[in-house]
Structure 1
């Protein structure tokens, strides 16, 4: 049966308490950061609801219903999947039809809609009636990064459960158990999401990030941007701009007196302190400057190499030639 991630114990206990007290809603939206295992949690809950001999921890794994789930052929579990960018109305109507039928295994019926934010307007509207009156022992389980990405008429008919971001220590321990070289910095850069972090490292992005940081810290110390940095930044775009944003915000935090516990790149604490000291700990407002360049870099038909060169040259000029007064918030 579906095994939960170690950081999902709190969510597991919460859902088990709802079931035990007969307070589990018929329609639930599981929202939260991408890559924290929302799909795994929803699948575990579906198995628990369909199991005929549930244990204190979830589905038993041995009853007929569980065996059907293992085989991927349980007739009372409908998982909405689409190979397109959107979930169309036909898929939703098929799910609704299944809920209107008698359960084949004489138990619950469950519909899972992952990435529910991809439902078209017509698909969302088709689901409304069922959300209001799902029928006895019928459950609709939706997932989405945020409730705000769905129509208000959908979210108002679901109980929203925000799946918490894992404890950092638990997430790092799990990543190490998986054989990943992920560090605290990689996890924080990926919003604390272990699954995204695992892929980030397995794809080799951490090596490109390390090279980028070394060169960018040089720029912040007053060195002229090297062409190698520009080439690497273009090759890693758009992720490289996100790395630059995180680094500049870390500098801002250090200038404001924050400790390393609040930094993404705490492993570069010494270098960041050195950069902050160069500018007398004056705290710049990077937001307008970053917003302007984010817009510029996202334009179509532009030479990204020239754009990055211009941006880094401007950054170097601002940091290396302006006074501490200018740095305190006068970035264009």
Structure 2
């Protein structure tokens, strides 16, 4: 029984997950696979694919050295989205409520319909409500024979300690940057290192970023933003795009200011998010006499304003960009001196 599905590349196409896959296969072979596993790591690196691969392997009636056979009745039921011993839970309106968790408990407590394992997957388990998390505790301790509970979260710290203490954590690490870029190229995605770094080094997030044409929006945003930094009035197109693309636009602004700090600190282009703008940033740093303001408090001040409902966001962006110009013109002044 599946509540929702996620349409993403299959595990076989994600080479950086091979080590994780082998670790899980070894645990299965040694009969040491825990009944409750927490897959942690940044979003967009394939935790979901790894969980689905493992659930398929656990439910398969004739598994092979690579995982599920893909041909037995259980595998065919999984492919059809109708396996009675598989339950996939995801958030409804940004939370996973107690009713969904009770479905999971019921699935794990029943006798397996296919005479094999019973598996529950909880994607983004950090979205469980307090009552949902509490309801799950006893099942985590005693899930039953051949019952497996697979959870995912960006980090174990986002879950309550009573949940994490009952799970074995399986950390899914970011791939090497060159491996990630090579994989993106193999997928027909022309991504730059800046695109990968802007998406936290996560290849799947980067692919989605490119597929949605956000890299083109980013390029236009940076050109117009650098014009503002150099003293030109904020263009209407810049403000319109900033509002439309928020919160990504705020992230892009933050990354550019961090790059400026790096240039002022003497770091080289390969350390920057936007190395293609090294020349412009070097000129700005020179104009500032290489004084390095800390932009973090100023950005933290503006972020909730730009995100607030009921405000004219275009006016707020314009005010922020004009203030940015003022701060760059007077770098000796505290960034929040007027607050």
TM-score by length of 1: 0.90
The alpha carbon displacement at 1:212 in A equals 0.8
User: Which among 197, 216, 227 is matched to residue 236 of structure 2?
Assistant: 227
Matches within 5 A, 1:175-254: 175-254=184-263
8 A contact 1:2–1:43 mirrored in 2 = no
What does the per-residue CA deviation read over 1:64-87, in whole Å, with 9 as the maximum and x for residues that have no partner?
332332233322222224544322
Aligned pair 1:151/2:151, yes or no?
no
Shift of 1:119: 1.9
Q: Distance in 2 between matches of 1:311 and 1:106?
A: 62
Q: Deviations over 1:107-129 (max 9, x none)?
A: 22211111212222222111110
The more displaced of 33-42 and 55-64 is: 55-64
Q: Using a 3 Å threshold, how does the CA distance of structure 1 residues 55 and 280 change in structure 2: closer, same or farther?
A: farther
Aligned pairs for 1:79-94 (under 5 A) are 79-81=88-90, 83-94=92-103
Cα gap change, 1:295/1:101 in structure 2, threshold over 3 Å: closer, same or farther? closer
- The CA deviation at 1:42 is 0.2
Aligned-partner Cα distance in 2 for 1:231–1:96:
48
Aligned to 1:126: 135
Q: Is the 8 A contact 1:222 1:319 kept in 2?
A: no
Aligned twin of 1:42 = 51
Pair 1:102 & 2:114 matched: no
Provide closer, same or farther for how the CA distance between residues 156 and 229 of structure 1 changes in structure 2, counting only shifts above 3 A: same
- Say what the alpha-carbon RMSD is for the aligned residues: 2.1
- Find the partner of 1:331 among 324, 330, 335: 335
Query: Please, which runs of 5 or more residues in structure 1 have no aligned partner?
Result: none
Label 1:248 to 1:66 Cα distance change in 2 as closer, same or farther (>3 A).
Answer: same
For residues 11 and 254 of structure 1, what CA distance do their matches in structure 2 show? 38
Question: Which of 282, 297, 301 is the aligned partner of 1:292?
Answer: 301
For 2:3, the equivalent position in structure 1 comes to: none
CA separation of 1:299 and 1:88: change in aligned 2, threshold 3 A: closer
Offset at residue 2 of structure 1 (A) = 5.1
Q: Distance in 1 between matches of 2:297 and 2:87?
A: 47
Higher mean Cα deviation, 69-78 or 189-198? 69-78
Q: CA deviation at 1:134?
A: 1.1
**Cα displacement (A) at 1:141:** 0.0
Task: Quote how far apart the aligned CAs of 1:47 are.
Answer: 1.1
Structure 1 counterpart of 2:5: none
Take 1:253 and 1:162, find their aligned partners in 2: how far apart are those partners? Answer: 30
For residues 83 and 301 of structure 1, what CA distance do their matches in structure 2 show?
A: 25
Q: 2:28 aligns with which of 14, 19, 23?
A: 19
- 1:304 has 2:308 as partner: no
Mapped contact 2:11–2:46 kept (Cα < 8 A): no
What is the Cα deviation at residue 273 of structure 1?
Answer: 2.3
TM-superposed deviation, 1:54: 2.4
Separation in 2 of the partners of 1:81 and 1:331? 42
Q: Which residue of 1 aligns with 2:323?
A: 314
Change (3 A) 1:277 1:56: farther
Contact 2:38–2:168 (Cα < 8 Å) also in 1: yes
Structure 2 distance, partners of 1:203, 1:150, is: 31
